[in-house]
Structure 1
Amino acid sequence: MTTPARLPLLARLLAPLADPVLRALVVATLISRVGRGIFLTVTVLYFTFVVGLPAHEVAVVLTLASAAGVLSSFAGGWLADRISARRLLIGLSIADGIGLVSYVFAGDFAAALVIAMLVGAVEQGANATRSAIIARAFTGEARVGARAVLRTVTNVSIAAGSGIGALALALGTPEAYRTTIVLAGAASLLGVTQLVRLPRSVDAPAPRASRPVTTATGSTDVAASARAERIALRAHSPWRDPRYLLLTLLTAVFGMQFAVTNIGVPLWVAHSTEAPAVVVSAVLILNTVIVILFQVPLSRGTHDLRVAGRVSAIAAWLMAVACIVYALSAGLPAWGAVAVVLGAALAHALAEVLSQAGGWGLSYELADPVRAGTYQGVFGMGYSIGAMCAPLVVAATALEHGLAGWGVLAAVFLASGLGTWAIARSAARSAARAPAPGAEGDDVPVETGGAAIAST
């Protein structure tokens, strides 16, 4: 018996691009996220040195920009179920690019706040719309694989954009900052040229006509028919799905681990350890490399509920260990602190990769396909709420109370990750017990969420 030849590395890397939907999304992401990397690199210092905002006003701008994304995440998914998701994503992406360019006109706190909130809302709405497109364009493992590929491409592009943004930091002039911000917006707009290649199949299917309600005289009651249709649609609402809402809450809590990387570790290293500040850059580089190398392979199979639950549990333990190890870096000599922080960062990066893979799989498989966009909007809204609360949580625990605070964070991450695992196991058991559609004794095939789909 012969073994099929293994595809060359380049062929394996390019294989996802054979799909027209993923190809358009990948190329658009590759271009536009360079702009996002540029912007993230210069944002805080641009507000500080060019616009002239004090630290507390910068914090308010960034916090309210995250808050604006909470409702827009849901709105993006909700709209993607009702209008063309393709056109919606194109429109939001154009608005995002224009919004980035408009930062060069921010001359005071009020202008910076308005622009930041609009850009934050547009970006999160676009993210939810993109998730809805993936939910409809792919199934099973290909769906999670598409998310993994896009996240890998995002990290590559943001890293490249960060290098470009560093040029503005090196020059340090207002003109350099403004030029790079314009480049960031131009890159976002250039990515739209690829989104127009998305096929119409990514849009939500046209709603099925509901059975008309007839009166006693045999005429059609239009108002009653519309009311019956609305009632039928509400039955597919994520707000009536407590399991999905709990999943959203738990993954939002675990999603606060991003603030540990971006806020907790830099401030901890600077104020509580003997490690040099350059180790913060090493942590970010390590995180990026781990995501690029392992997000795709470690996401395989997480369309299966049990696998998704298992990787979520592993992520929970890894993140808990990372928190404790970060805490142990205090009081060590510089070389020891560097080694301990990098060891914790490695566990943290793997936890991030696994938690994302498990969350994607469950967010798709437990969603009702009738309202794929709305479900993804709710899931994205949870992440936005977590991102908004995360800086305060990290500051009030690890940064305020040291080892005890890191212990609290470890317990929070462990509880949320194991809670996600419990949801996945329960859903898998329910799916295994559910009769297959069309089986003997079923009068009508039951339309369920992804849990049942995953078991077929």
Structure 2
Amino acid sequence: MSHSSPATPDTGTGAGTAPTPDPERPGKPSLGARLAASVADPVLRILVGATLISRVGRGIFLTVTVLYFTFIVGLAPHEIAIVLAAASAAGVVASLAGGLLADRFSAKRLLILFTAIEGVALIAYVFAGDFVTALVIAVVCGLFEQGANSTRSAIIARAFTGESRVHARAVLRTVTNGAIAVGSGLGALALAIGTADAYRILIAGAGALYLLGIIQMVRLPSRVDAPARTAAAPVTTATGSVDAAASAKATAAERRVWRRHSPWRDPRYLVLTALSAVFGMQFGVAELGVPLWIARETTAPESVVAALLILNTIIVVIFQVPLSRGTHDLRIAARVSGIAAWLMAAACLVYASAAGLPIGFAITVLIIAAIVHAFAEVFSQAGGWGLSFELADPVRAGSYQGVYGMGYSVGALASPLVVNATAISHGFSGWAVLAAIFLASGLGTWWLARRAARTAARVA
């Protein structure tokens, strides 16, 4: 049976509500009106404001981090790899823990706390002077970044229903991509100046932006928190005294009911998480596989890497929201997951075909592959969001979102190893293996969603 949330009364203008055309100006609403309507919900507006500020800081850090470790801290390549892997491993644990905590404590306060610690940790990179210090700071950042992500997902699961939840995720991802692009441009200043002070000032500024975003988070309403758990009432005897044994049994029964709502007892959701984790390795293809493939196996200049990343960002910003509409419906989520599977498999094969071509043809083929890849990413994210919300038990929304986020963290941790062992080590045949992996995981998600839709229809 689907764990989709029951319908709840509308609390004002929900996210994704269509704008009302001005009777004085018939026809399609203006771009400004459509943008305003897309963030009409007050909770979404607060999350957008906080994300817009903090993700600029994230973009700065992502741009300068590896070179900062290399040229300023003086780390060797293998030490940088260990630092980044340790941060990812910490994120696996934190994704699960963040969701669990969001079911027991105030999600609003947790999000503020996690973001504050992450911002301070980013600023602490300014004082990193050796491998151990950088490693410790990176682990702290990884822990609280992923903990905040799971908490934010729990907030979305509770603050919105149905299509509005997917819409909120799509809007936030669009804002994230745009803000990171702006941050990357600011980070390029440090790369252009090249001095240690320039790096440190921008990294400190990145952390400060995280702290600045907290000003928005404090405005979140209490309805984003989990409903308070009610303890079992004491059992009294005929004389009015408390029956300790019976009360203990009632408390134990209440705990058993709570445990029955655990995502770890939901095989369907665990399968969805595993399939999404595998497909999530697509981000490793973009971040590691494509740059190395371009540099080693194609005649295209390395600058094409930046152009492809910009192209990806543009496609996500333009298409993520419109192509995510309706994916709260399990049938539509199944359809877009299937489309993503075929597109990602095709992208892998097109990337592979760029090897050995003349420079002009190589660049053209890589651009085509990047476009196909970007749409695969957009569709897979839209389908995954819809399924992760609709198949989750609303009683423990935070735990479910924590488990789903943990799956993505595992995929991010594994993707460099898998991409290197396939595409980078074995060329075209390796890309073909990657294509088969993505096709299998995407079609697996398609099958699971279709089955869930049929089950929900029978129950209804």
Structure-2-length-normalised TM-score:
0.92
Q: In the alignment, which residue of structure 1 is the partner of 2:108?
A: 86
Cα distance in 2 for residues equivalent to 1:9 and 1:340: 33
Q: In the alignment, which residue of structure 1 is the partner of 2:160?
A: 138
Cα distance in 2 for residues equivalent to 1:60 and 1:19: 42
Is 1:41 paired with 2:63? yes
Instruction: Work out which of the residue numbers 272, 279, 294 in structure 2 matches 1:247.
Output: 272
Cα distance, 1:207 vs. partner?
1.6
Is 1:123 paired with 2:123? no
Cα distance in 2 for residues equivalent to 1:122 and 1:149: 23
Is 1:147 paired with 2:169? yes
The answer as to whether partners of 2:316 and 2:378 remain within 8 angstroms in 1 is yes
Q: In the alignment, which residue of structure 2 is the partner of 1:279?
A: 304
Cα distance in 2 for residues equivalent to 1:414 and 1:158: 29
Is 1:204 paired with 2:229? no
Instruction: Work out which of the residue numbers 194, 199, 216 in structure 2 matches 1:194.
Output: 216
Q: In the alignment, which residue of structure 2 is the partner of 1:442?
A: none
Q: In the alignment, which residue of structure 2 is the partner of 1:411?
A: 436
Q: In the alignment, which residue of structure 2 is the partner of 1:171?
A: 193
Letter in 1 for 2:335: R
Cα distance, 1:208 vs. partner?
3.5
Q: In the alignment, which residue of structure 2 is the partner of 1:361?
A: 386
Q: In the alignment, which residue of structure 2 is the partner of 1:450?
A: none
Secondary structure at the aligned position of 1:18 is classed as: coil
Secondary structure at the aligned position of 2:371 is classed as: helix
The answer as to whether partners of 2:231 and 2:251 remain within 8 angstroms in 1 is no
Is 1:53 paired with 2:78? no
Is 1:71 paired with 2:96? no
> Any unmatched runs of 5+ in structure 1?
436-456
Aligned identity (percent) is 69
Cα distance, 1:222 vs. partner?
3.0
Letter in 2 for 1:19: D
The answer as to whether partners of 1:213 and 1:224 remain within 8 angstroms in 2 is no
Q: In the alignment, which residue of structure 2 is the partner of 1:160?
A: 182
The answer as to whether partners of 2:49 and 2:216 remain within 8 angstroms in 1 is yes
Cα distance in 2 for residues equivalent to 1:16 and 1:10: 10
Cα distance, 1:229 vs. partner?
1.2
Gap change, CA 1:51 and 1:13, over 3 Å in 2:
same
Deviations 1:48-82 (A, max 9, x none): 00000000000000011000000100111110110
Q: In the alignment, which residue of structure 2 is the partner of 1:269?
A: 294
Letter in 1 for 2:422: T
Cα distance, 1:9 vs. partner?
1.2
Q: In the alignment, which residue of structure 2 is the partner of 1:313?
A: 338
Secondary structure at the aligned position of 2:228 is classed as: coil
Deviations 1:339-388 (A, max 9, x none): 00110000000000000000000000000000000000000000000000
Instruction: Work out which of the residue numbers 410, 415, 418 in structure 2 matches 1:393.
Output: 418
Cα distance, 1:226 vs. partner?
1.9
Instruction: Work out which of the residue numbers 288, 304, 316 in structure 2 matches 1:291.
Output: 316
> Any unmatched runs of 5+ in structure 2?
1-22
Cα distance, 1:210 vs. partner?
3.8
Cα distance in 2 for residues equivalent to 1:82 and 1:318: 40
Cα distance in 2 for residues equivalent to 1:88 and 1:261: 32
* Alpha-carbon RMSD: 1.5
The answer as to whether partners of 1:53 and 1:108 remain within 8 angstroms in 2 is yes
Cα distance in 2 for residues equivalent to 1:107 and 1:214: 64
Secondary structure at the aligned position of 1:107 is classed as: coil
Cα distance, 1:20 vs. partner?
1.2
Structure-1-length-normalised TM-score:
0.93
Is 1:258 paired with 2:283? yes
Cα distance in 1 for residues equivalent to 2:87 and 2:326: 35
Q: In the alignment, which residue of structure 2 is the partner of 1:21?
A: 43
The answer as to whether partners of 1:16 and 1:23 remain within 8 angstroms in 2 is no
Cα distance in 1 for residues equivalent to 2:428 and 2:27: 52
Letter in 2 for 1:392: L
Cα distance in 1 for residues equivalent to 2:249 and 2:358: 75
Q: In the alignment, which residue of structure 2 is the partner of 1:341?
A: 366
Letter in 1 for 2:388: S
Secondary structure at the aligned position of 2:39 is classed as: helix
The answer as to whether partners of 2:300 and 2:362 remain within 8 angstroms in 1 is yes
Cα distance in 1 for residues equivalent to 2:56 and 2:209: 7
Cα distance, 1:150 vs. partner?
0.2
Cα distance in 1 for residues equivalent to 2:427 and 2:232: 59
Q: In the alignment, which residue of structure 1 is the partner of 2:263?
A: 238
Cα distance, 1:109 vs. partner?
0.4
